[in-house]
A and B are shown apart, each in its own frame.
Chain A
Amino acid sequence: MITLSCEEVRREISNYLDDDMSPRMRRLLEVHLGQCRKCAVLLDSTHNVLVLLADERRFELPAGFSLRVRQMLAKEFEKAKS
């Protein structure tokens, strides 16, 4: 049976996280991950960092940002009317 090297697994980690690979490749990768702790840790931690990043609530808007956007748009709407 064909097996993947750690190097090949690393190259596919991003595609794996995006679920962007053939079922066959996915199977091969999962076989490797089941046996190689190093790669499993890499995948796990990369995934976790991305989950943290995707939580946009962490990033605060400057105070008054939405209000200023509304004021700017209100002016634009006035102009659009006239």
Chain B
Amino acid sequence: MQNTLVRESDRILEGERELIAEILAGNHERYYELIAPIERRVYYTAYAILRTEADAEEVSQEAILKAFRGLRTFRGEATFSSWLLSIVANEARMRLRKRREVSLELLRSPDSEGEYTPFELAEWREIAVEALAQKELAARLEEAVAALPEMYREVLILRDIDELNIAETSAAMEISVPAVKTRLLRARLMVRDYFVSRSWGTHRGLGKARP
């Protein structure tokens, strides 16, 4: 199993390297092939950090352009997608800082090592996920992600939505691996709490009153 996975990812990397070599050799149009599969993740990463469509699109475009111009510097140690996504996250973070008038103190609150106690409630089957329309489900998930404090939101997006691994997330965020893990634990429990409590609450609210 492990071996199959390794070979699979080697094959992807190999294909990617060939594609990049061709683009660098002047076949620029093939750059579309490289970015098409990850466009959605690029946009969503920018959107989740910036929270406005216009800014998210601009930053996505800038990052895609920057990656094209810097393609020669791409070392191929990671996958192209993790490289591009870390550029997007960086650009979005920079834009957010510029946009913000509030002090950076708020963003840069020190890692809290304190325990986080998740809510105790709701079996998963009590949440009528199947009953939620896809649109509504997406909206609720988005809301739950948006509700996270920034330092937790970004780590969750990169790891659990963009599906970068821990090392790639650490590189993209320029924080240590242990810091990624600490934040990730908190982020996952918080997003779960938010989603579960909202969905559960609504579900119960809609249900018949219990005697």
Contacts and interface: CB of A to CB of B under 8 A. Distances in A.
A57 B123 CA distance: 26
Interface in B8-50: 28-29, 31-32, 35-36, 39-41, 43-44, 47
Given A59-B44, A69-B64, A76-B65, A14 B184 contact: yes
Given A48-B124, A49-B196, A61 B115 contact: no
Nearest to B163: A54
B40 A61 contact: yes
B188 interface: yes
Contact of A58 (B35, B68, B137): B137
Interface of A: 7, 10-11, 13-15, 17-18, 20, 38, 41-42, 44-46, 48-50, 52-54, 56-62, 65-66, 68-70, 72-73, 76-77, 80-81
Given A56-B41, A69-B35, 16 more contacts: A10-B118, A11-B185, A13-B185, A14-B188, A18-B166, A46-B188, A49-B195, A52-B195, A56-B44, A57-B40, A61-B39, A62-B53, A73-B31, A76-B69, A77-B31, A81-B28
Interface of B: 28-29, 31-32, 35-36, 39-41, 43-44, 47, 53, 57, 60-61, 64-65, 68-69, 115, 117-118, 120, 122-124, 127, 129, 134, 137-138, 141-142, 144-145, 156, 160-161, 163, 166, 181, 184-185, 188-189, 191-192, 195-196
